[in-house]
Structure 1
Amino acid sequence: MEEVDSGRVASAAGDEKLNQIFNTIRTSKTPAVINYGASWCRVCSQVLPAYFQLSKKFPKLSFFYADIDECPETTQHIRYTPTFHFYRDGERVDEMFGAGEERLHDRLWLHS
């Protein structure tokens, strides 16, 4: 498998880590985005390198990735992969379903 530069993206390896990320988002008030994906999801795999690259273009945003299979308790509400949740002032303000590098770029720009 080729090495991918993960940019400024922090991964949640497990429910406990994802809960820590939620807590960080709530308390830091920094605009943030969480990409919910799965290792078996072809579309997720296609958009992930773009997500990593975009994390470098939007330094005011905090970027996170959560694999729904590694975080089964905290991602029960995720019905479609990839799903992107956008946060401002500790609150979820937007979500986007599916991929599309240009759509994702525009949504990140809107929230940064």
Structure 2
Amino acid sequence: MPITISTTEKFNECTSKGNCIIDFYADWCRPCQMIAPVYEGLSKEYPDVQFYKVNVDELDEVASKYEIRSIPAFVTFKDGALQKTVFGASKDNIKQLLTTLT
């Protein structure tokens, strides 16, 4: 199950080690709401990847740092290094992104 990150410090800690994917979302975003159960399901399919969520309205400085201009956006990190970013609510695109981590 994805873990919601609520502070910049926690974001930095979570992305500093291992493989992870971040779902940048907002509560008011309908496509974000539609992809949420898919994202949760993928977290069970990829147990070696940590799944996180970041609300762009609460952590706008993190969203700005990673140039999140539209949501949903999915960003992958490997051992602290930014790997790739995809925008939009597409399960296939998220799965393709996850294959770069495994």
TM range (shorter): 0.7 to 0.9
Q: Deviations over 1:32-87 (max 9, x none)?
A: 11110111111111111100110011011011001101112222232110111111
- Whether 1:21 and 2:11 are equivalent positions in the alignment is yes
Map of 2:24 onto structure 1: 36
Segments of 4+ moved more than 6 angstroms: none
Map of 1:84 onto structure 2: 74
What is the identity, as a one-letter code, of the residue corresponding to 1:32? Answer: C
TM-score (normalised: structure 1): 0.81
TM-score (normalised: structure 2): 0.88
Q: CA RMSD in A?
A: 1.4
Runs of at least 5 residues in structure 2 that lack an aligned partner in the other structure: none
Q: Residues of 1 paired with 2:61 and 2:83: CA distance?
A: 22
> Any idea what SS the aligned residue of 1:84 has?
strand
Runs of at least 5 residues in structure 1 that lack an aligned partner in the other structure: 1-6
Map of 1:110 onto structure 2: 100
> Any idea what SS the aligned residue of 1:75 has?
helix
Map of 1:4 onto structure 2: none
> Any idea what SS the aligned residue of 2:61 has?
coil
What percent of counterpart residues are identical? 27
Q: Residues of 2 paired with 1:101 and 1:20: CA distance?
A: 26
> Any idea what SS the aligned residue of 2:60 has?
coil
